[in-house]
Amino acid sequence: MDAVGFVVNPIAGMGGRVGLKGTDDKLEEARRRGGKPRSPDRAREALRSLRRRDPDLTLYAAPSVMGEFAAREAGYEPEVVSVPSVLEDDPDAVDPAAPGTSAADTKAAVRAFLERGVDLVLFVGGDGTAVDVASVLSESSNGRGETPMLGVPAGVKIYSSVFAVTPADAGRIAATFDRVESREVTDIDETAYREGEVRTQLEAVVSVPVAPDVQSSKQVSGGSVDALASGFAREIDADRTYVFGPGGTVGAIETELGIDPSPLGVDVWRDGELLARDASEREILDAAVEPITIVVSPIGGQGFVFGRGNHQLSPAVIRRADEIEIVASGKKLDGIDALRVDTDDDEVDEQLRGWVRVRTGRFTTRLVKVV
């Protein structure tokens, strides 16, 4: 591979930890709640992984926080493409969390990459960014998506099957892939998502590098977990605080306990009292009284238990808990080779790895490895 185009959505993921379930049209609210940019660190991690394997490739980057800064920090001297935005007025003064970048800027960068004949477009963001990149690739190839794309996961919504499992995987795949396959780009209506409803829509079919560490399409529903929920509810400890993650399986447990769950949010409950509903990281930390049990279910085709769709369950929240319960139907586990974590904290990720017991029914469990 000779050349890669690299573009970053600098605000991707800001809404997750503060409970917004996305940043589209919610940037100011995310800033008000104290949301921090997630994509710059993940961009650097991906490029450092890429540079270890291919330090001499030509890297084209969008200007400033949209790619250039991360590229230089990773050790590359990128060729910076022109993007007609405020970034070019005073690029060194741009705050990654500040307004000033847009979907139009992302698309302009991708068009510039294609004009230079890149072999891959590597982007950092979530499903919304994937849609922006794919729209340009589809236009330029009459819908055939001939120039491949690969995502570095950084957004709250990551349902499309165009993302590597981790930023480091993205760098490795970008450096070593030798063939591509067609994959789907989907997006979710964030307004409906914030109300607890998942509305996915196919936006494009594009070429993506073939590798085992590119995630599968995410499933948004599962089978009955009534027995699992009933068994879990019978063993509730009245002296514990339970932090319930998102998803239908955990929601079934909450319903069994008489809680009206927030299907895509995090709820805090103790001895019959709902202490916080659809809580942000800060609200969880404020409401939860020790001892604390976090209850989560694998999310998505790659089996993430932390780091996809539940950023509110941050490293700080995980450290406060003395117990983590993972629940999933046997059918769901049958389609997952391992469980995964991606919390943005290497120490926490390492502590979570290893063999764990996953509750699959009223009395049954299964040993699964967290990798």
> Domain containing 45 — which CATH number?
3.40.50
43 and 165 share a domain?
Answer: yes
In a domain, 82, yes or no: yes
69 and 94 share a domain?
Answer: yes
* pLDDT under 70: residue ranges of the chain: 13-36, 85-100, 141-145, 157, 189-200, 215-224, 300-301
77 and 180 share a domain?
Answer: yes
In a domain, 277, yes or no: yes
In a domain, 313, yes or no: yes
Q: What is the DSSP string of 155-192?
A: SS---STTBBSSHHHHHHHHHH---EEEEEEEEE-HHH
- Residues in Cβ contact with 96 at an 8 Å cutoff, skipping those fewer than 6 apart: 10, 11, 37, 39, 40, 65
For the record, the structure tokens of 60 come out as: 């084209």
172 and 305 share a domain?
Answer: no
Q: What is the DSSP string of 197-257?
A: ---EEEEEEEEEE--TTBPPPPP------HHHHHHHHHT--TTSEEEE-SSHHHHHHHHHT
260 and 144 share a domain?
Answer: no
106 and 243 share a domain?
Answer: no
35 and 132 share a domain?
Answer: yes
9 and 129 share a domain?
Answer: yes
Structural domain count, the chain: 2
In a domain, 218, yes or no: no
Residue 219: per-residue pLDDT: 45
- Give the strand order in the sheet containing 149-153: 79-80, 58-61, 3-8, 120-125, 149-153
Domain end position, chosen among 148, 180, 209: 209
363 and 269 share a domain?
Answer: yes
Give 286's Cβ-side CA count (13 Å radius).
Answer: 8
Q: Do 199 and 21 meet the contact criterion of CB atoms below 8 Å apart?
A: no
Classify residue 86 as exposed, middle or buried by CB count within 10 Å of its CB (0-12, 13-18, 19+): middle
DSSP 3-state assignment of 84? coil
Domain end position, chosen among 163, 178, 209: 209
In a domain, 215, yes or no: no
In a domain, 214, yes or no: no
In a domain, 217, yes or no: no
Q: What is the DSSP letter of 93?
A: G
198 and 267 share a domain?
Answer: no
Which amino acid is present at 362? R
Name residue 188's beta-bridge partners: 200
200 and 233 share a domain?
Answer: no
Q: What is the CB neighbour count within 10 angstroms for residue 285? A: 16
How far apart CA 369 and CA 324 sit, in angstroms, is: 14
Its domain, for residue 322, covers: 226-370
Q: Which of 171, 126, 169, 132 is nearest to 340 (CA)?
A: 169
pLDDT tens column, 190-209: 555 555 555 667 888 899 99
In a domain, 326, yes or no: yes
202 and 347 share a domain?
Answer: no
Q: Which of 37, 34, 215, 195 is nearest to 127 (CA)?
A: 215
| Percentage of residues of the chain with pLDDT beyond 90 | 57
> pTM for this one?
0.66
- Residues in Cβ contact with 346 at an 8 Å cutoff, skipping those fewer than 6 apart: none
Mode of pairing for the β-strands spanning 241-244 and 267-270: antiparallel
Domain end position, chosen among 156, 183, 209: 209
